[in-house]
Structures are given as C-alpha cells and as structure tokens.
Amino acid sequence: MSEIRLGISSVDTSDGYTELKLSKEFFEKEPIMEALYEFSNDYYTAMKPSDNGEVSVFFKKKEDAKEDIDIQEFSNRVLDYQIRRNLDRDSGAIREMIVEYAYSPIKKKFDFKVDTKKPYSLMPFNFKRQNDDSILMVNMAGEHFFTDSETFSELINFNMDKDGDEYKTLRSKFFVFETSRELESSVSLLSNQIRTKQRYLMDFTSLHMVEVTNYCNLNCDYCHASSVSLDEIELNKAKNLRREIINATVDMIFESPSRNIKIELQGGEPLVNWSNSKYLIERAYEVSKKFPEKNLELILCTNLLLIDREKLEILKKYDVSVSTSLDGTKELHDAHRKTHSSKGSYDKFIENLELTRSVLGHNKVGALLTVSKTNLYHLKDVIDEYVRLGFDGVFIRALNPYGMATKNLDTLGYPVEDFVEEYIKAFQYIVELNLKGIHFIDYYSTLLVSRILTPFSTGFMDLQSPAGAGISGVMYDFNGDVYPTDEGRMLARVGDFTFRLGNVLKDDYKSIFNGEKLRDITSKSILQTTPGCANCILNAYCGNDPIRNYVESGDTVGYRPGSDFCKKNKLLIEHLIGTIKKNDNDVMSVLWSWITNKNIGEIRV
C-alpha cells in the first residue's frame, strides 16, 4: 500500500484491478463518481463503501486502453471535484441567480445575504490545473485568470491579501465580491455577458442550406455529401430539387424570425442543376422584397468546374457570393478532388477561379480546405498556396466522420493528436506571415480566440451551447426533408432518418422548428448539463455537436471527453489560452487583427 495524498491510498490487487481507498472524512460520494466517470472510457470501474470510514474504488484497464491508470492524476481529479462541490455550496445560489437574470424575462427582486464573517465571498467559477503547475480559473461568462497553487489555496480558504494585485484583479473580473451592492452589479454584468455570447439564439434561424441536387461532376474520396455520378442522371431524375419544393422551401425560410437570412445552395454540385439553382436564386430575391426588414445573403457552394461567364452574370445580378474548395497545391488538390474519370481538377479550378473573380470581384469568392492525411503534414505548402492565390485566410478543417470519408479512413484519416500538432505549427506560421506584413487569417483560431477574449457570439454552429443545429442553421434536402445539420442529411443517405425534422411540403414551420425532435436535440446539447462537460473549465468557449455525438456513440449526448471532437477543441483552446497567457505584444496584435479583421498596424497593442 502506498500513500498518495491526504485521505487517499492505493493497493494493487492480484486479479488485475487497482484499488484506491478514499477517506469519507475528506471526500463525498458525488465527486468520487464524477472522477470515475472521466476514466470509464478506458477502464472498468467500480466503487464500494466500507464501514471503516473509507470508500474503495477499483480500476481495470480495458483492452483498447492506451495507458495504465495514473493514480496521481485520479487523486487530483477527485480532489478537484470535491473542491468544486465545496465552491458550489458557497456560490451555487449566485450561479442560479446569474442564470435567472440572463434568461428569465421577469427578474425576482435581488435578495442575497452576504456572509459578513468572511473577508470576501466567491462568485461561481471553474478551475483546472495546468502542466506548468499554475491553475486556470474561468467564470460563467468566460473571463479567465491564471494563478499558482498557493494563491489558489489562499483564495478558496478566504486568506488572500485584499491589498494585493491578484486579489484586485480577481475582484475586477468578477471572481470575488465583498458587498451586496457589488454582488448585484456583478450578477447584472455577468448575465449581460452571457446573453451577449448567446445572441445567436435571438437570430433563430439565419443559415439555410439547400441541396439543389445530389449529383456531382467530381468523385472526391472524402465527400461528406455522398454525391452520385452524372452518369446516373437518367436513372435518378428525382434527385434534383423540384420547383414546387423550391417554392415551399423559400417560403419557409422567410418565416424565420431572423433579420439576417443566408441561403447556401449546396449539392452535390449545384451547377449540375443550374436551371433550378437559378430559379431558387431568383425566387429568394423576389420573396425577400416582401420582407424589407430582412437582409438576404445568397451563397453558391461550387467546385467551379462548370462555371461560365453567362452563369456568373446571373450571380452578379443577384449579388451571389461563391464558396469553393481548395486543398492546396496542384499535387495536394488533385490527390482527392478528381473527376469520375480520375482526372485532377486543379487546372480547371484555377482557370475558373480567375474568371469568377474577374466577374464577381475578388472578395466575393472564398475557399474551404479539407484536411486529409495527404495535406495534413504539408499545411505550410497549403497556406502558401492560399496566399499566392490571394485568399485572405484559411479555415483548417479536420476530416469529419461522414459520407465517403468513413469508407476511406485508412487512406484519409489521422490521429487527432497529429492534427493538433500540425495545426499549431500552421498557426505559428500564419502568425509569422502576419508579422512580416502579410494579412492572412486563421479562421478557426479566430473563432476560438473571439470566444476567449470577447463576450460576442461567433455564430459558428459547432461552437455553441445549446448547439446551433436547427437553431443557427438548417438543411433542406432535394426532396423537401428538413434536417438540423448537413450531417443529419448525410445519415439519411444511409437509411438513418433519426434527425429528420419534417418536410416542407407536408409540415408547417412551427411543427418543424418548434417540434419535439428539435427541442430534444437542443436540450441535450447544453454543455452545462452534459456529463463530462458540465464541470469542464472550457465549456464557456466550446460547443456541442449532437449529430456527431450520435454517429460516434449512438446517442446525441455521447461520451464527450472521449471523442475526437472534444480532444481537438480542448487541445486547441488550451494552446490558445497558453498563447494569450504569454501576452506577447506582437502575437496579441495579430490575434486582435484577426478578431477585428483589421491590418495589424491599425490595432498593434
């Protein structure tokens, strides 16, 4: 038996289990269970109380687990969960008050008795130990603060020096308060910040993706849309969006209460069904005239291979932007973006990119990157190609487990740790470019940094709690079926209609957007009530993807801490918080230039 820390000891048993004994004097049942849950993805776990004032917990590694149980790490988790429980007892009522002030249209009269026996009181916050032995603290609105273990211990034991700089900073960032009036002011300000971060809920629903056709002239081996070949058109004419469905879809789109309506024409390849793509654009434009209070934005998602000047003139007439795809240099792009005859698409793409820009204007064309095993380890070359072609940034998108990508993971996939490692290298390279005077944005880092440094909503569906599925965006299939996300539609391609919300020809707006299915998805996507996420210090910056949870685990809640989505965002957010902690003036100037989309010289800090 070895003593780990006060109240915890370990025993190695002969049947392959490791037993830990925890003193009931220091630890309650719930914190022990929460810590066990975090390890249950890799270990068989059990808990057994005894009559001698101890609780025994047992671990046995599963066959696919990568590492043996880290006793010290588990003891830290239990201790941290117990501290959180103690803090929640002290500030739980304040947490409920902040939530009520943030979301309830009718506020109760402020009535909270401050404990005058303590020199100060604690606002609700979460915390996490860092690799450098510092402790990161984050409050409900996402304000963060770094401190050391000794100061943290002084804080939670109400022994901080009230004249010290750290205490004053904590007070200014709403981690501590002294009087009822100060608490009332803090609750009001924090609730306003939370409302601002979740402003997207008021814009319900702004992004409307419409699949114009299921056909595509390319045969990309990572295709998420599971598109089909042009050769099958005569056999599958019903896979094109019909006029009656277009009319019903557009009418339903403008029932959205959002003042900003964004319609994306997707596929397949929308230009394959140009006649109805054109009709949809014209129909949306005409209907928008009936709603002068709404702002209409039209986007055509296309690989550009079928574009021509005549089509571009129509796009220009209706102020349509173009979103296309570029995977890097010719070699990297052609590796996966091929025609059905296995011919690369890069040369034609470049030719038509120039044509499109010449008609629509340079800034009306954006490009998306899909990161496969082929270009992951060459992101510097990808970035250089984007810069060479005059794009103002890149969205480094990890491969998602949908469509053809799931069938070709052996040749396309990579460990999430590799993605993060290469992403960080790319991030550092992009920062260097900016410091050399080349304004180029890392879009995903910008989204994360915005959530860390500002109170504003980013509007990005994957980083929202509740999830943006069906709330921020929605997908209309070629047959009129409605799904909360494009990924929900992809599941339907393989016969799984779990996420079908309704049909524009059969159901009305209220039954689709206020129905039980979307309500259920939304209620299960709130991080603050999700197992494994509720106590995560990063939940103020992260988001939820219930459809991906379902794909990976079989239900919309899933086991988030064990998912690649969680690992990726956690590692990237922690990297960015660490970058912010260093407070390098040059780097911070770059980050703020991305957030504000201004030249670094305009906002150098």
Give the rounded percent of residues in the chain with a pLDDT score beyond 70.
Answer: 91
Strand partners, 265: 210, 300
As a whole number, mean pLDDT of residues 265-275 equals 92
Do 2-69 and 200-573 share a fold?
Answer: no
Size (the chain), residues: 605
pLDDT, tens digit (0-9, with 9 covering 90-100), for 272-324? 999 999 999 999 999 999 999 999 999 999 999 999 999 999 999 999 999 99
How far is residue 200's CA from residue 203's CA, in Å, rounded to a whole number? 5
Compute the distance between CA of residue 77 and CA of residue 563 in angstroms, rounded to an integer.
Answer: 19
pLDDT of 408 above 80: no
Which residues sit opposite 137 in a β-bridge? Answer: 127, 145
Helix, strand, or coil (residue 422): helix
Among 110-119, 450-459, 464-473, name the one with the lowest average pLDDT. 110-119
Strand partners, 296: 261
Q: Is the pLDDT of residue 138 over 80?
A: yes
The CA distance from 204 to 474, in Å, is 10
Q: Give the pLDDT confidence score for residue 238 in this predicted structure.
A: 44
**Overall average pLDDT of the 582-586 stretch:** 93
pLDDT tier at 226, thresholds 50, 70, 90? low
Higher pLDDT, 69 or 544: 544
**Residue 352 predicted with pLDDT over 70:** yes
Who has greater pLDDT, 165 or 493?
165
Please tell me which residue, 57 or 160, carries the higher pLDDT value: 160
Topology at the third CATH level for domain 200-573: TIM Barrel (3.20.20)
Average pLDDT in the 500-515 region?
96
**Other beta carbons less than 10 A from residue 316's beta carbon:** 14
Nearest to 135 by CA among 94, 179, 83: 83
Q: What is the pLDDT of residue 299?
A: 98
Backbone angles phi, psi at 287, to 5 degrees: -65, -35
Average pLDDT for 209-232 = 78
In the chain, what are the domain boundaries? 2-69, 75-197, 200-573
Contact predicate 486/210, CB 8 Å:
no
Distance CA 541, CA 463 (A): 7
Phi, psi of 334 (to 5 degrees): -75, -15
C-alpha dist (Å) from residue 552 to 43, 73, 562: 19, 26, 10
Q: For residue 467, give every residue at least 6 positions away whose Cβ sits within 8 Å of its Cβ, in sequence order, or none.
A: 461, 521, 522, 525, 543, 544, 545, 546
Averaged confidence pLDDT in the chain: 88
Report the pLDDT value the prediction gives residue 227, as an integer from 0 to 100: 57
pLDDT of residue 120: 95
Which pLDDT does position 231 carry in this prediction? 59
pLDDT over threshold 50, residue 1: no
**Integer CA distances (angstroms), 602 to 420, 454, 484, in order:** 30, 19, 40
Three-state secondary-structure class, residue 240? strand
Burial of 100 (0-12, 13-18, 19+ CB in 10 A): middle
Q: Is the pLDDT of residue 333 over 80?
A: yes
Residue 517's pLDDT is 93
The pLDDT assigned to 296 comes to 97
Q: In terms of Cα–Cα distance, which of 42, 52, 47 is closest to 30?
A: 47
Two tokens at 54? 């101890």
Using DSSP's 3-state secondary structure scheme, residue 433 falls into helix
pLDDT in tens, 54-111: 888 888 888 877 666 677 778 888 888 889 888 888 888 898 888 888 887 766 677 7
Ranges 14-23, 72-81, 198-207, 256-265: which has the least confidence: 14-23
Residue 564: the pLDDT is 84
pLDDT digits (tens, 9 = 90+) for 356-367: 999 999 999 999
Closest CA to 323 of 368, 362, 291: 368
Q: Which of 594, 152, 247, 600 minimizes the C-alpha distance to 394?
A: 594
Minimum mean pLDDT among 226-235, 324-333, 402-411, 462-471: which range? Answer: 226-235
For residues 553-563, average pLDDT = 75
CATH of region 2-69, choose from 3.40.50, 3.20.20, 3.30.70, 1.10.287 = 3.30.70
- Give the mean pLDDT of 380-404: 90
Structure tokens at 88: 């929640």
pLDDT of residue 235: 45
> What is the H or E stretch that residue 228 is in?
strand 228-229
